[in-house]
C-alpha cells in the first residue's frame, strides 16, 4: 500500500515506495538464511550437468531488495549433441557470463502480464469478468457456442486443451482458423491449464481496445512502472535457451538466443498472450513489489488494491495461488506466482510482504523434464528467513 509519512499531526499518504538495495537486516530477513539461498542458487549452475547453465535470483521484503545475485553463464553451449546427450561447450573465452542485468525469455510468466492487462479493462468497466467470450469475439464460434467466459480463460477452467500445433500452419490465416474452431475438450468449469486461454484472451483484448497486446503491456504496465528492460522480443543479449530441433522440440530452429523459445509464440510473430516477453530480475522485482503494494509503485498506479486482490484471491486470475510444488514453504497463506518453461518463476507473498524472482536457463542447451524442486527450496529459504525475525505480533513491517 502507499506509504504513510509520520508527522506531529498524524500522517499523510505518499506514493508507494520504490525498491532499494539494502541489507537483509534492513529487510527484517535473516542474513544467514539468505546466504544459504544464494549458495544454493550458485550450486544449481555448477558442474558438468547443472540444473541450469545460469541463474539470477532477486529476493526481498517490503521495498528492500536483500538479494540480487547472478551465477553461471548466459551462454555456455554452442549446441546439443544427442549422441552424447550433452551440450557442446563453448571455449570459456567465448562464453557469456550471467549478470543481474541479463534478460530472460519469460515463457509463461507472460501470462501474468496478459492477466493484468485484462483486469485493467475489468477495472475500467470495459470488460465483464463473467461475460461470454462470444460477446466480444463472435467469430470464435466454438468458444461462443460453448459459453466460455472471461473468468474461465483467466482461471484455466474453459475446458480448452493445453495447446494447438499453430507452428505447423502455413500462414496466419490457418492459425487463426484453428483458434476460431477450437472447442473445449472437457466440460467448461473444470481446471485444465492451457496456453489457449491466454491466446483467446489476447484476441479479446485486442478486439476490445483496438491495440495490440505488446502496446497494452507497454503502455499499461511496463512504461508506467519504469520496467525499461521488459518487452516482447526479439531481445539481443538475452540468456540463451535451446538448441531447438526435432524430435525433442516442435520446430527446427537451432540454438536460440534473443528469439522466443515457445514454438507457438514464434509462429505468431513473437507477441502472444501465453509467451513472448523478455525481462530481467530487477524489472520483475518491480512488478512483484507493485502487486504487494496494492497496484502502485512510486507515483504510478496500474491497478487499484481491490483489483490486485481479485487477481491474487484463490484460485487466482492468471496467477497460481498456494502451490507448494514451486512455492515451497511460502505456500499456504495466499502466496501467488507462476513458472515458465524456460526456467523462470516468481512468487509474491502478501502475508509476509516478501517476493522471490528466480530466473534460470534450464532449457540450455535442450529441454528436460521440468524439475521445480530448486524453486521450492529457494522459496522455503526465504520463508525461513522471515520466520527468523518474526515477532509475537507477526512479521515486522518494513518502513518505506
pLDDT of amino acid 4: 37
pLDDT of amino acid 12: 35
- Going by pLDDT thresholds of 50, 70 and 90, the confidence category of residue 395 is low
Average pLDDT over residues 100-105: 98
Q: Residue ranges of the domains in the chain?
A: 14-108+213-387
- Give residues with Cβ within 8 angstroms of 232, minimum separation 6: 213, 214, 217, 260, 270, 271, 276, 277, 278
**C-alpha span between 105 and 270 (Å, rounded):** 11
Q: Is the pLDDT of residue 14 over 60?
A: no
Per-residue pLDDT reduced to its tens digit, 46-86: 999 999 999 999 999 999 999 999 999 999 999 999 999 99
HEC profile of 222-234: HHHHCCCCCEECC
The CATH class of 14-108+213-387 is alpha beta
Per-residue pLDDT reduced to its tens digit, 322-354: 999 999 999 999 999 999 999 999 999 999 999
pLDDT of amino acid 393: 41
Per-residue pLDDT reduced to its tens digit, 158-170: 999 999 999 999 9
- Going by pLDDT thresholds of 50, 70 and 90, the confidence category of residue 6 is very low
Per-residue pLDDT reduced to its tens digit, 174-191: 999 999 999 999 999 999
Share of the chain above pLDDT 90, in %: 92
Question: Which residue bears the cell 506514493?
Answer: 15
- Going by pLDDT thresholds of 50, 70 and 90, the confidence category of residue 15 is confident
Q: Is the pLDDT of residue 211 over 50?
A: yes
pLDDT of amino acid 122: 98
User: Where is average pLDDT lowest: 88-92, 103-107, 393-397?
Assistant: 393-397
- Going by pLDDT thresholds of 50, 70 and 90, the confidence category of residue 389 is low
Q: H-type helices in the chain, by residue range?
A: 31-44, 110-124, 133-136, 141-145, 150-154, 172-181, 195-209, 213-217, 223-225, 263-267, 281-292, 305-312, 324-327, 373-387
Q: Alpha carbon of 380 to those of 37, 83, 329, 331, 375: distances in Å?
A: 9, 38, 5, 9, 9
Reference 232, options 50, 51, 48, 103; nearest CA is: 103
Q: Which residues pair with 360 in a beta bridge?
A: 55
Q: Is the pLDDT of residue 396 over 70?
A: no
Reference 197, options 148, 232, 130, 231; nearest CA is: 148
Higher pLDDT, 382 or 388: 382
- Give residues with Cβ within 8 angstroms of 126, minimum separation 6: 208, 209
Average pLDDT over residues 357-384: 97
Average pLDDT over residues 40-48: 97
Amino acid at each position: 500500500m502507499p506509504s504513510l509519512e509520520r508527522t506531529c499531526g498524524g500522517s499523510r499518504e505518499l506514493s508507494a515506495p520504490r525498491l532499494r538495495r539494502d541489507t537483509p537486516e534492513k529487510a527484517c530477513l535473516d542474513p544467514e538464511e539468505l546466504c544459504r539461498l544464494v549458495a544454493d542458487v550458485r550450486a544449481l549452475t555448477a558442474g558438468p550437468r547443472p540444473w541450469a547453465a545460469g541463474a539470477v535470483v532477486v529476493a526481498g521484503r517490503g521495498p528492500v531488495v536483500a538479494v540480487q545475485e547472478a551465477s553461471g553463464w548466459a551462454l555456455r553451449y554452442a549446441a546439443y549433441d544427442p549422441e552424447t546427450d550433452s551440450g557442446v561447450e563453448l571455449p570459456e573465452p567465448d562464453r557469456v557470463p550471467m549478470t543481474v542485468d541479463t534478460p530472460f525469455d519469460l515463457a509463461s510468466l507472460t501470462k501474468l502480464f496478459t492477466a493484468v492487462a485484462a483486469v485493467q479493462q475489468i477495472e475500467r468497466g470495459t470488460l465483464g469478468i463473467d461475460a461470454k467470450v462470444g460477446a466480444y469475439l463472435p467469430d470464435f464460434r466454438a468458444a461462443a457456442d460453448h459459453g466460455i467466459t472471461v473468468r474461465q480463460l483467466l482461471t484455466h477452467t474453459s475446458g480448452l486443451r493445453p495447446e494447438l500445433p499453430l507452428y505447423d500452419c502455413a500462414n496466419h490465416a490457418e492459425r487463426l482458423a484453428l483458434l476460431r474452431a477450437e472447442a473445449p475438450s472437457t466440460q467448461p468449469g473444470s481446471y485444465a491449464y492451457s496456453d489457449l486461454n491466454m491466446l483467446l484472451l489476447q484476441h479479446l483484448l485486442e478486439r476490445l481496445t483496438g491495440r495490440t497486446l505488446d502496446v497494452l503491456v507497454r503502455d499499461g504496465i511496463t512504461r508506467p512502472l519504469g520496467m525499461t528492460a521488459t518487452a516482447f522480443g526479439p531481445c539481443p543479449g538475452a540468456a540463451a535457451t535451446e538448441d531447438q530441433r526435432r524430435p525433442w522440440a516442435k520446430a527446427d530452429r537451432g540454438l536460440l538466443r534473443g528469439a522466443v523459445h515457445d514454438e507457438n509464440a514464434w509462429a505468431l510473430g513473437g507477441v502472444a498472450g501465453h509467451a513472448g516477453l523478455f525481462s530481467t530480475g530487477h524489472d520483475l522485482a518491480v512488478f512483484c513489489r507493485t502487486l504487494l503494494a496494492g497496484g502502485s509503485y512510486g507515483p504510478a498506479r496500474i491497478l487499484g488494491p481491490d483489483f490486485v486482490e481479485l487477481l491474487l484471491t484463490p484460485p487466482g486470475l492468471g496467477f497460481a495461488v498456494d502451490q507448494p510444488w514451486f512455492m515451497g514453504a511460502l505456500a499456504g497463506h495466499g502466496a501467488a506466482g507462476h513458472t515458465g518453461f524456460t526456467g523462470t518463476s516468481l512468487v509474491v507473498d502478501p502475508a509476509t510482504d516478501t517476493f522471490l524472482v528466480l530466473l534460470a536457463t534450464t532449457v540450455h542447451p535442450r529441454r528436460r523434464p521440468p524439475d521445480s524442486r530448486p524453486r521450492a527450496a529457494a522459496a522455503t529459504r526465504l520463508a525461513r528467513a522471515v520466520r527468523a525475525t518474526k515477532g509475537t505480533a507477526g512479521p515486522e513491517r518494513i518502513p518505506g
